[in-house]
Structure 1
Amino acid sequence: MPWWRALPEQLAQGDVVLVTVAATQGSAPREAGTSMLVTLHGTVDTIGGGHLEWEAMAQARAMLLQPSATPAMQRLSLGASLGQCCGGVVWLVFERIGQASRVEWYERVQQLERGIGLQRTLVSLDAQSHWSSLNAGQWSQGACLDMIPFPSPGPDGPPSPEGEGTANSFTQLGTGPNGCKALPCPPPRGRVVQSTGRGAMPEIWRLSHILQATPFPITIFGAGHVGAAVVELLATLDAQIRWVDPRDDLFGRARDKVECIVSDAPEEAVASAPPGSFFLVLTHSHALDLALCEQILRRDDFAWFGLIGSKTKRARFEHRLQALGLDTARMCCPIGVPGIRDKSPQVLAIAVVAQLLQVREAQASIPSEVNVDADTPAA
């Protein structure tokens, strides 16, 4: 379960600490933007890394024992000191989230579930993050960490962070998938950093973090052995699953958030699927398979379409579909990642889900425009 979905329930039990991978260099267990929740007695989600995560948990729980703890950033080298050999560097940001924000987080979760993204901005010495809503459109999930070393105090005292040139003096340390370089990040909010007494000013850091519920709509036709095995695997992911079959007795005990559709006209579920859907046709009837293929190929806004069957079945279907004027180039048949010959339902399901994830990741790597509504604060 994503950490943000579990946050309101966790806050009902007490304060939590949000640990975020703010930046990475070299080899690292997880990418920038990855986060986890830490409570006194448990965790939700993971930043990976074995000993790295144990160290993060210890730091977070120490923060929970300090009611006035402010956000902090820590640089960790993934070397011998942590008992790891990744060789990279990870910057972690720790922020305590209080029970008083439970209602706000419940509303933010509702926004994310509706496809509204959030941008988080946290500047060192701030008491908490600032969250703002993202306009409808496409954006890239991830995080970036900026650092600014303030100059030494002059004869008139320390310079103000609001001074000329400050807003452009941030140096980006690292980014998440696709980067956050396009995000307009505000300058430091006017806090004057006190001198250390040694003629130098400490570094200021700023975290910019994009959070979204990544759409993964999948419509699966067929509740037989393969369909059931595929749904069992996909239900462990953050996917929006619609499972369609005319036989209601085959769905069994479907998992939560799996929408089971019993219909004598499964083709109607093609039209009602959202744009960018993944379609998987696994029914018991070749005639129904063909009808579904026709309806899916008549749409030009699907992300991927797979049909169970052999090369011979594909050839026969291609002949009939092309006779209807349809382009079959995007019809994937046979399905599953190559190199796996076992056709048992469970093995085939693993091969198909792996293929779905390959396609999804390839599509997610395409850069997209970021639209930020800086005037509309998140709930």
Structure 2
Amino acid sequence: MINSSTAGFHAASWSDAVADLTRRGEAFVLATLLGSAGSTPRAAGTKMVVSATDIYATVGGGHLELKIIEAARAALLTGQSEQALVHFPLGASLGQCCGGSVSVLLETLVPDGIMVDLYGAGHVAQALVPLLAQLPVRVRWIDSRAALFPAPMPANVQVLVDEDPVEQVRHAPANSVSLVMTHNHALDYRLCSAILKQGTGLMLGVIGSATKAERFRLRLAHQGFSAEQMARLQCPIGLAQVSGKLPMEVAVSVAGQLIELYQSRHSPSPMRQGVQWRQLKDTLIQSPVIVSADAEETSPR
């Protein structure tokens, strides 16, 4: 089974897949048949989408498609957004009787920023979400009170109404940031305990005072949490140099802390030599070889 979560290929169009995967913050490869020579299964411009677990649409099936999927999955393992032009000769080596050759553009798209789990829909959260809507982050906004969520919702924000928000902790994406700012201290503590126990997040920030933080740490220590685990708890949250208690002041401070966090995780990209337009034009028209599927230069037939 090629798709780990389905019994075959998805029926969704490639454009729907791109929109859905982008909304979910999941990396994917958009494969496009750029040019062809001789007889090929599909026309130039045909697209398919490949994620780590699933495949959407088709570029003709057969061994060619399998090779494209393998190349796409290998590209995803790099964890980098990049483009590659791959050449596939269609013949005995791919077990296809079409003949001809195909050049395929593989565009690997890895989402920038981080995933944020925001627990609570009170005043600070209401001020924070419009700021997060303008940043390269993806937000799961969680509360038990559906009436508090405003409309319309920013595209990068997913609302989750749960009678027990602690249940959402086990669904948190790996390497996400958890921001706890509910209306109830007891719920805040339960969330902290569950998040620290799971231990997969980048950061746990809890709104409140230093006194609240000390009380939480004492209770967590009594529960058996280690000093290393409790060190992940940041309370108060936000940038230390940004003071103020107004909801917007706190929200700006928290947003600044998130910006500092995601910028620190990405080193500057090296300068790359772009493809000259004449070379790209020749590729689209004549399907010349840029990278062979077998890592050897091969001339189209």
Q: Deviations over 1:62-115 (max 9, x none)?
A: xxxxxxxxxxxxxxxxxxxxxxxxxxxxxxxxxxxxxxxxx8766655665542
* CA–CA distance in structure 1, aligned partners of residues 292 and 79 of structure 2: 15
Match of 1:309 among 190, 196, 208: 208
* CA–CA distance in structure 2, aligned partners of residues 261 and 186 of structure 1: 41
* CA–CA distance in structure 1, aligned partners of residues 17 and 114 of structure 2: 22
* CA–CA distance in structure 1, aligned partners of residues 159 and 149 of structure 2: 7
Matched, 1:115 2:27: yes
**1:355 corresponding residue in structure 2:** 257
Instruction: Return 5+ residue gaps in structure 1 as ranges.
Output: 1-102, 123-127, 144-183, 188-207, 368-372
2:113–2:137 Cα contact (<8 Å) kept: yes
**1:137 corresponding residue in structure 2:** 77
* CA–CA distance in structure 2, aligned partners of residues 104 and 242 of structure 1: 25
SS at match of 2:205: strand
Q: Deviations over 1:124-145 (max 9, x none)?
A: xxxx9x99735343523468xx
* CA–CA distance in structure 1, aligned partners of residues 31 and 113 of structure 2: 17
Closer, same or farther: CA 109–344 of 1 in aligned 2, 3 Å: same
Closer, same or farther: CA 330–374 of 1 in aligned 2, 3 Å: farther
**1:246 corresponding residue in structure 2:** 144
**2:120 corresponding residue in structure 1:** 222
Instruction: Return 5+ residue gaps in structure 2 as ranges.
Output: 1-12, 35-44, 48-67, 88-105, 270-290, 295-301
RMSD over aligned CA atoms reads: 3.6
AA matched with 2:209 = S
Q: Which one has a larger percent helix, Structure 1 or Structure 2? A: 2
* CA–CA distance in structure 2, aligned partners of residues 210 and 119 of structure 1: 9
1:314–1:333 Cα contact (<8 Å) kept: yes
AA matched with 1:283 = T
Percent of pairs identical after alignment?
Answer: 32
* CA–CA distance in structure 2, aligned partners of residues 260 and 104 of structure 1: 25
**2:171 corresponding residue in structure 1:** 272
The 5-angstrom pairing of residues 144-163 of structure 1 reads none
AA matched with 1:115 = A
Closer, same or farther: CA 363–250 of 1 in aligned 2, 3 Å: same
Q: Which one has a larger percent strand, Structure 1 or Structure 2? A: 1
State the TM-score, normalizing by the size of structure 1. 0.46
1:115–1:215 Cα contact (<8 Å) kept: no
SS at match of 2:117: strand
Closer, same or farther: CA 354–375 of 1 in aligned 2, 3 Å: farther
Match of 1:343 among 245, 256, 275: 245
AA matched with 2:118 = I
Choose between structure 1 and 2 for higher RCO, CA contacts under 8 A separated by at least 6 residues: 2
Q: Deviations over 1:292-324 (max 9, x none)?
A: 000000012111110011111111111101111
AA matched with 2:265 = Q
The 5-angstrom pairing of residues 1-379 of structure 1 reads 114-117=26-29, 133-135=72-74, 136-141=76-81, 211-214=109-112, 216-257=114-155, 258-326=157-225, 327-365=229-267
State the TM-score, normalizing by the size of structure 2. 0.57
> How far does residue 240 in structure 1 lie from its aligned partner after superposition?
2.2
Closer, same or farther: CA 222–325 of 1 in aligned 2, 3 Å: same
> How far does residue 247 in structure 1 lie from its aligned partner after superposition?
1.7
SS at match of 1:341: coil
Question: 4+ runs of 1 displaced by more than 6 Å?
Answer: 103-106, 184-187
Q: Deviations over 1:205-231 (max 9, x none)?
A: xxx986422362211111110011111
AA matched with 1:281 = V
